Amino acid sequence: MKFNTKTIHGGQKPEETTGSVMPPIFQTSTYAQSSPGTHKGFVYSRAANPTRTALEDNFASLENGTHGFAFSSGLSAIDCVLRLLNPGDEVITGDDLYGGTYRMFTKIFAKYGLKFQYVNMDSVENFANAISSATKLIWLETPTNPLMKIADIEEITKAVKAKNSHILVAVDNTFATPYLQQPLDLGADIVMHSATKYLGGHSDLVMGALMVKEEKLAKELHFIQFAAGAISGPMDSFLALRGIKTLHVRMQRHCENGKAVAEFLVNHNKVGEVYYPGFEDHPNHEIAKKQMKDFGGMVSFSLKDESTDAAFQFLENTKVFTLAESLGGVESLVSHPVTMTHASIPESERLKIGITDSLIRLSVGIEDIDDLLADLDQALNL
Ligand code: P1T
């Protein structure tokens, strides 16, 4: 199957007893056994639930993997990956990450003895040079949140595996979605999503996803999902499956609108820098072009007036863009990383990489582009 067909049919079959085309919401915690250990394949919903299984099979199909796992949030999916490691193990990651991922690394797992190195992802050598005998995991977020940096998944994976083939490479594919890039095909071992975002697509659930292609790793992750217990519930699993069926058409419009918004902003006299990997002068444009089918619907920018007051004036006055955390839904959202999504990163760290007080992040939705541009224009010209 090709990708657009997979969003609708990947891993799906009509339900066996009724022929129901959508999987029913199996709102049950447990399943009858005729004798101890004799059952129909389902024992307890933390281990497996038919609605979640339908979603997990679809997840695997979308990323060209063999196994998918659905979690109660994106962060619990990341938590599951980190639980593969042992105290003393080292993770190498990029220097621009979702604030909650950084907070989990620094405030939770560092205290259990994991070590984290943050490198500039522009150069493949930075990853290869940072590897030590303790390195067990490379964590890539690309495009990054909120600065839209791009890491070369294929080249980084090649360089890392050439040094030590046992090091796992995991990619947070939340911003790109499998519509734009498929990290398992580029050599990565694990793909992670905040399915809260584009996969779900309608801002009505919180969910995480992992996809893998290797049996042993799938078994280990399934064991952690089952034993630690951060699973997605049946209703949310149903909603995510429903959302994914339109992922390809939504993404096409997100990309068109994202490009139009980026081009509008770069020509606006109130706007400073625009962070969008589709621009030829974006430092990682060539990698984005090679690795992604298009450039997505996320655009960040700074104002020429770098004061917090100017940023707040803009943020308080958009009308179609809603001021809110999150991204990837059909509706356009605007956010202020410094006070919202990236508030957990110390000021000195965020200023070092360019998350300034006037940085604004847009999740460009699929509304009429004229309404979106008019809204940005009126809020910029106040
Ligand atoms: O919110 P949750 O579903 O737990 O996902 C966490 C997460 C992981 N990775 C990336 C790249 C993310 O953007 C997120 C969540 N981000 C937001 C809530 C946000 O507004 O950026």
Helix (H, G, I), strand (E, B) or coil at 351: helix
Q: Cα(190) to centroid of ligand 1, in Å?
A: 17
Q: pTM of the full predicted structure?
A: 0.98
Give mean pLDDT in consecutive 10-residue pieces for the chain, a chain of 382 residues: 98 95 97 97 97 98 98 98 98 96 97 97 93 98 97 98 97 98 98 98 98 98 98 98 98 98 98 98 98 98 96 98 98 97 92 93 98 98 95
With the most atoms of ligand 1 within 8 angstroms of its CB, the residue from 78, 93, 148, 174 to mutate is: 174
The answer to whether 342 and 144 are in contact (CB under 8 A) is: no
Q: Ligand 1 atom 1: the closest Cα is on which residue?
A: 74
Atom 5 of ligand 1, nearest CA residue: 74
Q: What is the pLDDT of residue 24?
A: 97
> Ligand 1 centroid vs 75 CA: distance in angstroms?
7
The CA distance from 61 to 18, in Å, is 24
Which pLDDT belongs to residue 294? Answer: 98
Distance 99 CA to ligand 1 centre (A): 8
CB atoms within 10 A of CB 60: 25
Instruction: Name which residue sits closest to atom 16 of ligand 1, judged by CA.
Output: 326
Q: Which of 227, 367, 359 is nearest to 304 (CA)?
A: 359
Calculate ∠ Cα 206-208-209, nearest 5°.
Answer: 145
Distances (CA, A) of 185 to 4, 62, 65, 291, 345: 17, 11, 9, 11, 32
Q: What is the DSSP string of 147-178?
A: T-----HHHHHHHHHHH-TTSEEEEE-TTTHH
Q: Strand 271-275 to strand 322-323: parallel, antiparallel, or no bridges (unpaired)?
A: unpaired
Q: From the alpha carbon of 333, which atom of ligand 1 is closest?
A: 20
Identify the residues whose C-beta falls under 6 Å from ligand 1.
73-75, 98, 100-101, 141, 145, 172, 174, 194, 196, 206, 208, 325-327, 335, 341
Query: Which residue out of 98, 105, 140 has the highest number of ligand 1 atoms within 8 Å of its CB and is therefore the one to mutate?
Result: 98
Give the H/E segment covering residue 361: strand 359-363
Q: If 0-12 CB within 10 Å is exposed, 13-18 middle and 19+ buried, where does residue 274 land?
A: buried
Catalytic positions? 46, 98, 172, 197
User: Which of 72, 194, 196, 205 is the best mutation target for the ligand 1 pocket, counting ligand atoms within 8 Å of the beta carbon and taking the most?
Assistant: 194
Ligand 1 centre to CA of 282 (Å) is: 23
CA nearest neighbour of 233 among 71, 360, 67, 373: 71
- Predicted local confidence at residue 156, as pLDDT: 97
- Looking at residue 43, what is its pLDDT? 97
* Coil, strand or helix at 234: helix
Helix/strand/coil for 119: strand
Other beta carbons within 10 Å of 243: 24
**Rg of the chain over all Cα atoms, to the nearest angstrom:** 21
Alpha helices in 108-233 (DSSP H): 124-130, 153-163, 177-180, 215-228
